[in-house]
């Protein structure tokens, strides 16, 4: 963690809203990408990201160490997404959204993008978590185990199963 970021975290903990806005600027990308990957819907991802930052701001005093901010904010984002997925399951609404980036069929990459998002949506939430944390957020296996509070062996087997399932769905899409 760079010192500048550490300074912003400390200032935000002292109640400085401008410092917190800087943190939002820096972490909105990873938080939004994770939420989008988990929820598969831009609007819901935006709501979840907003909820994440507001919760973080209101509970900054609960942050154990200034240096742990990055994983702390991602944990809040993960909870926000899991809560939304649970609510969605309860409401039994089949929410499926093709993002604007993938809707343009004139784009030559549109087909594989659609196939990929559909394949991701077919995965369980647990499988999406490990794929996004590793392949998109760049976490190592040990960090994922710590983040999700699961054994290292479970991370290995879950990521392997998730990728194999993605590959199978991808192949189905290609066929």
Partner 1 sequence: MMEHPVEWLSAYLDDEIDEKTRIQVRDHLESCESCAETLRELAEIQALTASFYGAIEPPPELEQSVRQAIGRKLPPRAWFRSALALALADAVCLAMVWQLFGGLVWILWKSAYKISIAAAYLVSDGIGSSPSLYAWAVGLALILIFLSGISLRRLLRSETE
Q: Which is nearer to partner 1, 82 or 116 (CB)?
A: 116
Q: Which is nearer to partner 1, 21 or 122 (CB)?
A: 21
8 Å CB contact between 44 and 95: yes
Q: Which is nearer to partner 1, 92 or 110 (CB)?
A: 110
CB of 72 to partner 1, least distance (A): 15
The candidate with the shortest Cα–Cα distance to 36, out of 111, 104, 98, 108, is 98
Q: What is the rounded CA–CA span in Å between residue 66 and residue 132?
A: 24
Contacting residues toward partner 1, per CB under 8 A: 13-15, 17, 20-21, 24-25, 28-29, 31-33, 36-37, 42, 46, 49-50, 53-54, 57-58, 60-61, 101, 112-113, 116-117, 120, 131-132, 134-136, 140-141, 156-157, 159-160, 163-164, 166-167, 170-171
What is the 3 state secondary structure string of 151-162? CHHHHHHHHHHH
Residue 79's alpha-carbon distances to 60, 157, 168, 174, 175, in angstroms, are 16, 22, 28, 33, 36
CB of 53 to partner 1, least distance (A): 4
């Amino acid at each position: 963690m760079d010192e500048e970021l550490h300074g912003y975290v400390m200032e935000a903990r002292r109640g400085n809203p401008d410092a917190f806005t800087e943190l939002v600027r820096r972490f909105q990308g990873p938080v939004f990408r994770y939420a989008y990957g988990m929820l598969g819907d831009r609007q819901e991802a935006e709501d979840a990201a907003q909820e994440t930052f507001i919760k973080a701001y209101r509970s900054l005093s609960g942050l154990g160490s200034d240096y742990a901010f990055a994983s702390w904010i991602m944990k809040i984002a993960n909870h926000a997404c899991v809560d939304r997925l649970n609510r969605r399951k309860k409401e039994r609404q089949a929410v499926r959204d093709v993002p604007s980036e993938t809707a343009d069929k004139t784009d030559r990459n549109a087909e594989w993008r659609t196939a990929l998002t559909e394949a991701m949506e077919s995965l369980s939430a647990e499988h999406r978590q490990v794929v996004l944390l590793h392949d998109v957020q760049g976490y190592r296996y040990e960090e994922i185990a710590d983040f999700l509070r699961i054994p290292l062996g479970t991370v290995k087997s879950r990521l392997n199963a998730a990728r194999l399932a993605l590959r199978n769905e991808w192949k189905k899409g290609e066929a």
